[in-house]
Amino acid sequence: MTDSANITLDNVSRFYGEVLGVNRVTLSIPPGITSLVGPNGSGKITLMNLMTGLVRPTYGEIRIRGIAPSEPQKLFHLVGYSTQFDSFPKGLTGFQFIQSFLRFFGYSSATSLELAGRAIAQVGLTEAADRKIAAYSKGMRQRIKLAQAIAHDPQVLVLDEPLNGLDPLIRAETIALFRRWADEGRHVVVSSHVLHEVDLISDRVILLTGGYVVAEGQIHGVRTEIQEHPMEVLIRCDQPGALASRVFEQEHVVSAQILPDGSGLLVQTRDADRFYRQLNHLALDNIQIESVAPADDNVNSVYQYLIGGEEVSK
């Protein structure tokens, strides 16, 4: 992947007066679904606004597939951004909204009509397209925003909590949509608070806190980077005691606690790969293993380890 095909931030910082937005961020984001994860005020929004030129970096350089955000006339043929602002120009219907802004791209009225129709269909709002946005429900507003961001068929999508307020059905559809775009080789940069979803959808995650990037890459990769927390594996089996003793023979196993209800065992290991390999063999001699599952190889635990459950009242 050459950098001209990536979103690159080189040592970017942004301060609002004395307030820190983001600090010394250096990233190179390849196409695919990338999730921004972090507590409120961690700089996710600043980062997205920087990528789309809504705010300018105090210093550092940003390139979106080689284009500088300070050149809107070039950038926005390539980029679509669905912000977190839940507000719209007054008095427009969903369709008028999409269509009139498409005209800004220099499309003929015919093309803009067609594109608008397509975008609205993609988010499944066709039947509500001619109602005033003011009368939309939260979910519909969320979707019309999405439609507005994708209407001009951009290669780079920046989406701020796009799933927020969507009902489970639409959620599933939208996630499928992201997947498809990613497979078409587009950038889909998504911020989300719902970690188990991040787990499912994203190719890579960027963890932010306090304006700093604390982790970046594929979840599994990130997890293995965190040495101070040994991998946890949850095993349900008929005779946890026996299994525990067998497991302890391996030096990379840190601990093995039998679950309170005695239905299984929680193993901490420093070398997951070796552990799983050996587990195959353990399973073959007379221990009935019901189920195996990594207990903390997911965004949630990575989040817990790197950012932790900070106090809400801050």
Partner 1 sequence: MNTSQWAQLFAIIRLEIWKTFFSRRSLWIYLFTLAPVLLFTANSIYAPREQARLARIAEKHQVALANLTAITRGMTNSVVLEQLGEPYQQHTWRHPIEGGRVNERGFYRYTDGKSDFTFHFNNGRVRGIERSDPETLPQNFLIFATIFRFYFLRLAVFFGCVGIFTNLFRGEMLDKSLHFYLLTPVRREILLAGKYLAGLLAAMVIFTASAALQWEALLWQFDHQTVADYFADPSSAHLLSYLGVTVLACAAYGSIFLCAGLLFRNPIVPAAIILLWESANLFLPATLQKLGVIYYLQSLCPLAAAPDSNMPVPLTRLISATTPASASMALVVLILFTLGVLVFSGVRSRKLEINYSTD
Partner 2 sequence: MQPVIELDDLNVRFGEREILKSLRIALSGRIIGLLGPNGAGKSTLIHTLLGFCPASSGTAKILGHDIRAEADKVRTLVGYMPENDALIADMTAVSFVRMMGELSGLTEEAALERAHEVLFYVGLGEARYRQLGTYSLGMRQLAKLAQAIVHGPRLLILDEPTNGLDPAARTRMIKLIHDMKDSGEMHLLLCSHLLRDVEETCEDVLILKQGRIVHYANLESERRTNKRFVEIQTHGDDAGFAEALTAIGCECSAAGNGRFKAVLPEEFELREIYRVAAGRDLQLRRLNYRRDTLEDIFMKAMEV
Partner 3 sequence: MAVHKHTYKDYTGPRTPAWSRFLVLARFGFARVYHLKFLFLFSIGCLFYPLVCAAYIYLSHNPSFLALFSIPADRLPHVDGRFFYFYSIVQGALAYLLTAFVGPVLVTPDFANGAMPLYFSRPFSRAEYVAGRISVLLILLSLITWIPGLVLFAIQSSIEGWDWMTGNLWLASAIVSGLFVWIVVLSLIGLALSAWVRWKIGAGALVLGVIFAGAGFGAAINSLMRTNYGALIDLTQVAHTIWSYLFRYDTGTEMSLTSAWIVLVVTCVICLWLLAKRIRPFEVIK
Length of the chain: 314
Q: How far apart are CB 304 and partner 2 at their closest, in Å?
A: 8
Q: Which is nearer to partner 3, 134 or 293 (CB)?
A: 134
CA distance readout (Å), 207 to 31, 90, 199, 223, 269: 18, 36, 13, 12, 24
CA distance readout (Å), 228 to 211, 225, 297, 307: 23, 9, 14, 14
Show the beta-strand stretches assigned E in 134-263.
156-160, 187-191, 204-209, 212-217, 231-237, 253-258
Which is it for the CA torsion 139, 40, 213, 37, positive or negative? negative
Q: How far apart are CB 160 and partner 2 at their closest, in Å?
A: 11
Q: Which helix (H) or strand (E) holds 265?
A: strand 264-269
Contact call for residue 76 and partner 1 (CB under 8 A): yes
Q: How far apart are CB 200 and partner 1 at their closest, in Å?
A: 28
Binding partner of residue 280 among partner 2, partner 3, partner 1, none, CB cut-off 5 to 8 Å per kind: partner 2
* 40 Cβ neighbours under 8 A, 6+ residues apart: none
Contact call for residue 220 and partner 1 (CB under 8 A): no
Q: Which is nearer to partner 1, 76 or 178 (CB)?
A: 76
Contact call for residue 200 and partner 3 (CB under 8 A): no
Are 23 and 73 a contacting pair, CB within 8 Å? Answer: no
Are 211 and 68 a contacting pair, CB within 8 Å? Answer: no
Which residues make up the interface to partner 2 (CB under 8 A)? 37-41, 137-140, 161, 164-171, 193-196, 236, 272-273, 276-277, 279-281, 283-284, 288-294, 297, 300, 303, 308-314
Judged by CB under 8 A, the chain residues 110 through 149 that form the site for partner 3 are 132, 134-135
Q: Which of 52, 142, 192, 298 binds partner 1 (CB under 8 A)?
A: 52
Q: Which is nearer to partner 3, 132 or 193 (CB)?
A: 132
* 87 Cβ neighbours under 8 A, 6+ residues apart: none
Q: Which is nearer to partner 2, 75 or 302 (CB)?
A: 302
Give the tokens for residue 171.
């959620």
Strand partners, 157: 80, 188
Q: Which is nearer to partner 1, 30 or 210 (CB)?
A: 210
Q: Which helix (H) or strand (E) holds 24?
A: strand 19-29
Q: Which is nearer to partner 3, 86 or 184 (CB)?
A: 86
Contact call for residue 221 and partner 1 (CB under 8 A): no
Q: Which is nearer to partner 3, 132 or 229 (CB)?
A: 132
Task: Report the interface residues with partner 3, using CB under 8 A.
Answer: 132, 134-135
Task: Report the interface residues with partner 1, using CB under 8 A.
Answer: 16, 49, 52-56, 72-77, 80-81, 83, 85, 87-91, 100-101, 103-106, 148
